[in-house]
Amino acid sequence: VAALGVSQLPWLASLSLRQRCIFCLVAAYLPSYFNGSEKRPGSRSNSWLFSFLQNAGRRVLSQLFDIGFQLEAPEALAACDQCIVAVHPHGVLSMGHFLVFSGFDAAFDKAAPATCRCALSAGILFRIPLLRELALAWGGVDAHRDIAKRCLSSGLSLSVVPGGEREQLMAQRGSTEHLVLKNRQGFVRLALQHGVPLVPVYVFGEAQLFRQSQFLFGFRAWIQRNLGVALVMPYGPGGVPCLPFGSTPVRVVVGSPLKVPRLPQPSPAEIEEHHSRYIRELTDLFERNKVAAGYGDRTLKII
């Protein structure tokens, strides 16, 4: 814009100084917006910005919520060169994924450093300016199979929320917690293809942070199925939109790494075998920790 000069852009000359500044900022940002950084592991990760966001996130969340972390096998986790950390449930905000990936807990971050992981994130996050930059600074990448493979081939670990947008749309405060997992085998296939262990994580309280309105649920479900976007309608105390139940305790329990064999071309039967094994381990993790987490009356339903 500066090289062309205002005289060569008559319409620009007609703008006010503020409008010109906004135009120049947008023009400078667009190349970065369209450069595909979300498809290249680590291409935009920023250690300084990551540390700043990590510390700021810790302070804010610690003040807003009662958060606790528990590692069942820290030594076994630290011994893993790579792993796929699977976080359940998604919830409305996927706060658990943020807590896991941001290094909120020092012990977990020491065992599995956040700077050595890629966070598989919904593609919509990278289409929203500023939110895109935050996701990239944290090491987020588009949750596409080829990109996930690229991360693992680069020696990085992954964090993923298998339930995705469908589970996000179904998130509801209540006595039964729903996981969309029966037909979600992609993360297990990746683990087998690269021979990396699976680390189950259950976030007690994630599903209890909000209630969700059922208004136009059928239409919103259609949007989710066809466009991959979950139009959530959360509300909290007094029916106030987007206000979480702040008194809800959030307990993040990290299970033991589940080792799997390296199978470059796993058969459907092999994938099913290890997927079923993972579900059993996750269910056991839920049952043996729910009382201590303060959710002894909750039941888990996998769909």
How many CA atoms lie less than 13 Å away from 296 in the CB half-sphere?
3
Give the list of residues 6+ apart from residue 154 with CB closer than 8 angstroms, or none. Answer: 41, 42
Give tens-digit pLDDT for 177-209. 999 999 999 999 999 999 999 999 999 999 999
Using CA atoms, how far apart are residues 55 and 50, in angstroms rounded to an integer?
9
What the block records as the tokens of 157 is: 């670990």
Query: Can you say whether residue 157 is alpha, beta or left, with left for phi > 0 and alpha for psi between -120 and 50 degrees?
Result: beta
Contact between 295 and 287 (Cβ < 8 Å): no
How many CA atoms lie less than 13 Å away from 270 in the CB half-sphere?
13
3-state secondary structure 16-33: CHHHHHHHHHHHHHHHHH
Confidence at residue 239, expressed as pLDDT on a 0 to 100 scale: 93
Q: Are strands 198-204 and 249-254 parallel, antiparallel or unpaired?
A: antiparallel
Q: What is the pTM of this model?
A: 0.87
Q: How far apart are the first and last CA of the chain?
A: 54
Give tens-digit pLDDT for 103-135. 777 778 777 765 577 888 888 888 888 888 877
Confidence at residue 253, expressed as pLDDT on a 0 to 100 scale: 96
Residues of the chain under the 50 pLDDT cut: 1-6
Lookup result for tokens 């920790």? 289
